[in-house]
Structure 1
Amino acid sequence: MSSFFSTKHIMAFSGKYQLESHDNFEPFMKAAGLSDELIQKGKDLKSISDIDQNGDDFKVTVTTGSKVIVNCFTVGQECELETLTGEKTMAVVHMDGNKLTTTVKGIDSVTEINGDTIVNVSKNHYMMIDGFL
């Protein structure tokens, strides 16, 4: 019996990526808890994401200006992740094919690899507390 595996799948996310564009940056960052001052500084900075994948183990280094955030995780296991505000929180990252998904502090994040491009879509969740949104 022979078994085969695709190294493309194992190392699919590995690489260095430069931010090309971001939509709805200001409202999203405000909802994520960043101050207006940090949002204004950050909106014109280009970040670099360096992803090192070894099977289900990931090391993600995001450099934005002088700020560097390093998160290490194993798919499917609870881990500590640092947010853009520098806060650390517990989360579980899941992988489904070419997508990584997680929820951190009420924000759903889906990171999908498409050829040599990574697209990240994040959504905030709001809960009605008194009948008005």
Structure 2
Amino acid sequence: MAFSGKYELESQDKYEEFLEAIGLLNAKTDHKVVTEVVQDGNKFTWTQSIPNWTWSNTFSVGEECELTTMMGSKFKAPVTMEGGKISVQFPQYHFTAELIEDKLVMHCTIPGEKGVTFKRVSRRI
């Protein structure tokens, strides 16, 4: 199933715990995050936005890509897809995204002592 589309936040679980664990609790927002995904084969542009803030990454599945964290730091990591699920290891957490019944479901998992998994579900708009 193609990821391309625009999605609006429907629900999220452990949002504040996740932000606190990565040191971004002051970035908490009550705005509904809009995620826009443009997919052309294995190449993606993934953009998340709220008023006055946008975060975007362009990557190709199956390749090591230069990506940017929410705070603007650059890093390199391979992006994989298995069973329709995109996966990438960010510096502080592991990110996965998949489509489940036309909803974009994202998980950000922090391992170890601070272990928390943030789940965000967005509906196609």
State if a TM-score over 0.5 links the two structures: yes
**Runs (5+) with no aligned partner, structure 1:** 1-8, 128-133
3-state secondary structure, aligned to 2:16: helix
3-state secondary structure, aligned to 2:17: helix
- Tell me whether 1:38 sits opposite 2:27 in the alignment: yes
Q: How many residues align?
A: 114
Question: Match of 2:74, as an amino acid?
Answer: K
**Distance in 2 between residues matched to 1:19 and 1:81, nearest whole Å:** 23
Sequence identity, in percent? Answer: 35
Which residue, out of 73, 94, 110, partners 1:124? 110
Q: 1:11-90 counterparts in 2 under 5 A?
A: 12-34=2-24, 36-39=25-28, 42=29, 44-90=30-76
The structure with higher relative contact order (CA 8 Å, sep 6+) is 2
| TM-score of the pair, normalised by structure 2 | 0.83
Write 1 or 2 for the structure with the bigger share of strand: 2
**Distance in 1 between residues matched to 2:66 and 2:23, nearest whole Å:** 18
8 Å contact 1:46–1:65 — kept in the other structure?
no
After superposition, the C-alpha distances for 1:6-51 in whole angstroms (9 at most, x for unaligned) are: xxx4xx10000011111111110122231x3222xx1x11111110
| TM-score of the pair, normalised by structure 1 | 0.78
3-state secondary structure, aligned to 1:16: strand
